[in-house]
Amino acid sequence: MIDRPPVAPGSFLAGSLPDLRGGFLPLSERLFRDHGDVVRMRLGPPRLGREITLIFTPEGARHVLAANQANYRKDNVNYGEVRYAIGDGLLTSQDETWQRQKRFLQPLFTHRRVAGYAATFGAETDRMVAEWQGAAGEIVDVHEAMTRLTLRIVCRVLFGNDVDVALPVIQRWFDPLSDAVRRRAFMPVRIPHSWPVPVNRLIHRGQAVMFGLCDDIIAARRASGQVSEDMLGLLLDARDDGKSLSDAEIRAQVLVFLLAGHETTATALTSAIYRLGAHPEVQERLRAEVAGLPGTPTAEQALGLSYTMRVLKETLRLYPSAPNMGRRAVADDEIGGYRITAGSDVLVSPWMVHRHPAHWPEPLRFDPERFTPEEEKARDRYAWFPFGGGPHTCIGMHFSLLEGAVALAGLARRFAFESPAEQPRYESQVTLRPADGMPVRITHREAVTR
Ligand code: HEM
């Protein structure tokens, strides 16, 4: 009989919960250092709490996400909470429901379609350029700015001309709703959704507002009979075997795109700008690539920016926006020589795999050259997997890389970045984000050369 993975020592009553106070990512790093590639931890009291198995290798990630993915389902607490709050869209759905949704949604994310969204990526980037126009060495919280930028982008892509109605409501309600979902996901002991505690009230209120907004816009679109080219229009118009998506299904997809599609790209852009500001030689090389552009790049121009793309990929290595991916094991299995028991909560960790010294020499060094085509080809496919893998690979991968390249190039053409000497802290509450904002000194390039 093979052994179960080593278990992190913790307190008898709370397990590793007290260690979580220092953050999930530092705890993962310690567990990897002390116990190796596969490790278990308990959160909360024995039997009542949760036990999680953390997987830190490319082989383990491939096994869970692709090779044996049928055994690893999105039946865990986190995905359950998302499903409850916003409906069962493509991020949480499984089996036939997921297959059906995927058939409807894939055409919205083809390279041709995404290239069509790039004008919006560019227009919103130009808006940010105008906002920073007079910058002459001011410290800006780049995380706040990038979150605003990517939220405006995804809202405009989704809602088109209805963006002015949708954006203020989403800006007011979406973050509190997703924070409440995260809070419930991290509770050591499950409580029913029906209990009138503050976190549940917030979820129900946020849900009512967001559902109401989407339902009103969908109803108005259906009533007008007009076909529009924004994503919502495409969703309303989508057909599979002559059938269309129901209004509730459309609403769930819209909310999933909002949830999965703005904070992730915002954190990637924030971290890329921070890294440019910390590595003048990388910033200079990227600037040399974008300096000759006539303006913020179009889709075609952005796709040709190979160094900018390498910077983004290396950023996503060190700061993967989804630092962990969770599943629940259906049947007993084996990973890395250890027994995974049926019902286990499993987390594969891009955060640690992307820093695994067996796959990344000097893992903490920021070096875009790791992403030359030759280097990429020589590496294990699952040594770098910020967009996941297997059938549930991120549908927005090309969208967000193109959005990132357009925005980063558009901003770096115009501005010089200088980052503070101290390393920023990151926290992982499902998605990655800087714990204390991201202050970066920004100077308009004309001010530099004056
Ligand atoms: C830097 C940006 C992004 C990162 C790092 C990222 C990461 C991920 C990851 C890791 C997964 C797999 C989750 C799992 O297997 O449990 C995923 C799935 C997904 N992402 Fe993204 N994402 C990004 C941007 C986007 C955008 C822009 C959208 C949509 C507009 C999007 C929509 C989705 C959806 C719908 C899924 C579920 C796919 C499926 O199960 O078929 N993501 N993403």
Assess whether the C-beta atom of 264 lies below 6 angstroms from ligand 1.
Answer: yes
Calpha distance 182→184 (Å, rounded): 5
Assess whether the C-beta atom of 256 lies below 6 angstroms from ligand 1.
Answer: yes
Residues with Cβ within 8 Å of residue 388, at least 6 apart in sequence? 65, 322, 325, 394
* 319 CA → ligand 1 middle, Å: 15
* pTM given for the model: 0.96
Q: Any idea which residue has 């709050």 for tokens?
A: 85
Residue nearest to atom 18 of ligand 1 (CA): 394
* 397 CA → ligand 1 middle, Å: 7
Number of domains in the chain: 2
Long-range contacts, 30-37 (Cβ 8 Å, 24+): 32/56, 32/352, 34/8, 35/5, 35/6, 35/8, 36/6, 37/336
Q: Is 254 helix (H, G, I), strand (E, B) or coil?
A: helix
> What pLDDT is attached to residue 429?
75
In a domain, 374, yes or no: no
Measured CA to CA in angstroms, residue 208 lies from 173, 261, 272 at distances of: 10, 21, 36
Q: Tell me, what DSSP letter sits at residue 360?
A: S
Residues with Cβ within 8 Å of residue 335, at least 6 apart in sequence? 38, 55, 60, 63, 64
* 394 CA → ligand 1 middle, Å: 4
Assess whether the C-beta atom of 350 lies below 6 angstroms from ligand 1.
Answer: no
Assess whether the C-beta atom of 400 lies below 6 angstroms from ligand 1.
Answer: yes
Assess whether the C-beta atom of 439 lies below 6 angstroms from ligand 1.
Answer: no
- Clarify whether residues 170 and 288 are in a common domain: yes
In a domain, 379, yes or no: no
- Clarify whether residues 391 and 353 are in a common domain: no
Residue nearest to atom 9 of ligand 1 (CA): 387
> What pLDDT is attached to residue 254?
96
> What pLDDT is attached to residue 10?
87
Calpha distance 17→182 (Å, rounded): 16
* 18 CA → ligand 1 middle, Å: 30
Atom from ligand 1 closest to the CA of residue 400: 27
* 360 CA → ligand 1 middle, Å: 24
- Clarify whether residues 126 and 16 are in a common domain: no
Assess whether the C-beta atom of 157 lies below 6 angstroms from ligand 1.
Answer: no
In a domain, 378, yes or no: no
- Clarify whether residues 178 and 327 are in a common domain: no
* 235 CA → ligand 1 middle, Å: 18
- Clarify whether residues 49 and 27 are in a common domain: yes
- Clarify whether residues 115 and 218 are in a common domain: yes
In a domain, 119, yes or no: yes
Among 394, 397, 432, residue to substitute to test ligand 1 (most atoms within 8 Å of Cβ)? 394
Q: What is the mean pLDDT of each run of 10 residues along the chain (450 residues)?
A: 91 85 92 96 83 96 98 95 95 96 95 96 98 94 97 96 93 91 84 94 96 95 89 93 92 94 96 98 98 96 98 98 97 97 96 98 98 97 98 98 98 97 89 95 76
- Clarify whether residues 5 and 41 are in a common domain: yes
- Clarify whether residues 2 and 138 are in a common domain: no
Assess whether the C-beta atom of 321 lies below 6 angstroms from ligand 1.
Answer: yes
- Clarify whether residues 314 and 433 are in a common domain: yes
Atom from ligand 1 closest to the CA of residue 388: 10
- Clarify whether residues 81 and 91 are in a common domain: no
> What pLDDT is attached to residue 449?
45
Domain that holds residue 348: 1-85+323-366
* 388 CA → ligand 1 middle, Å: 8
Q: Residue 234 maps to which CATH number?
A: 1.10.630.10
> What pLDDT is attached to residue 32?
97
* 48 CA → ligand 1 middle, Å: 31
260-283 core/surface letters (b: 16 or more CB in 10 A; e: else): bbbbbbbbbbbbbbbbbbbbeebb
In a domain, 289, yes or no: yes
* 90 CA → ligand 1 middle, Å: 9
- Clarify whether residues 430 and 440 are in a common domain: yes
Assess whether the C-beta atom of 91 lies below 6 angstroms from ligand 1.
Answer: yes
> What pLDDT is attached to residue 450?
41
68-104 core/surface letters (b: 16 or more CB in 10 A; e: else): bbebbebbbbbbbbbbebbbbbbbbbeeeebebbeeb
Calpha distance 315→274 (Å, rounded): 10
Assess whether the C-beta atom of 387 lies below 6 angstroms from ligand 1.
Answer: yes
Cα distance between the two ends of the chain: 72
**Closest by Cα among 186, 206, 184, 208 to 195:** 184
DSSP per residue, 399-417:
HHHHHHHHHHHHHHHHEEE
In a domain, 64, yes or no: yes
- Clarify whether residues 354 and 263 are in a common domain: no
